[in-house]
A = this chain, B = another copy of it.
Amino acid sequence: MKVSTKVEFGIIALADIAINSNNGKAVSIAGISERHNISAKYLEHILIALKQANLIRGQKGARGGYVLARPSDKITFFDIINALDITILSGSYIDDSQDNSSFKTTVNECLWDKMNLYLQDFVKKITLADVAEQCRTANSENEYMYYI
């Protein structure tokens, strides 16, 4: 499925915060930007969206940054994706009021609605903790490789 950079970068940023905010230390945009080569200015917008969805908390001022608003195993990808792009998991389909038949309504009901529920089911089961864990191990293996 095609996903926007906003969603993709948002997930990377959250995984980064989950991993790098040890003992409550806030993670800065500059840090995330450097670690993953993502424009800091662009990240701002993305993190604000995540903040507005109450997934992270921002701390202003020097030594500021972001921390997760709740434990990573309590943040599902349903939460994350919805925070960044409302169109992915909820269906706003084609207007069916002008259809002479009821085909559009039928297709919405027996295909798209079901598909949405199915998708939602999937992303509700995966948490940020799951993915962050994978990122952590993959990254440490990566670092190990450099020293061989």
A contact set with B: CB distance below 8 Å: 1-3, 5, 8-9, 11-12, 15-16, 34-37, 77, 87-89, 91-94, 98-107, 109-112, 114-116, 118-119, 122-123, 126, 130-131, 134-135, 138-139, 142
B residues in contact with A122, CB < 8 Å: 114-115, 118
**Interface of A, helix, strand, loop or mixed by DSSP:** helix
**Number of this chain's copies in the complex:** 2
* B110 A134 Cβ-Cβ under 8 A: yes
* A107 B11 Cβ-Cβ under 8 A: yes
Nearest-CB residue, chain B, relative to A123 = B115
8 A-B residue pairs with CB within 8 Å: A1-B1, A1-B91, A3-B91, A3-B112, A8-B93, A35-B101, A102-B142, A107-B131
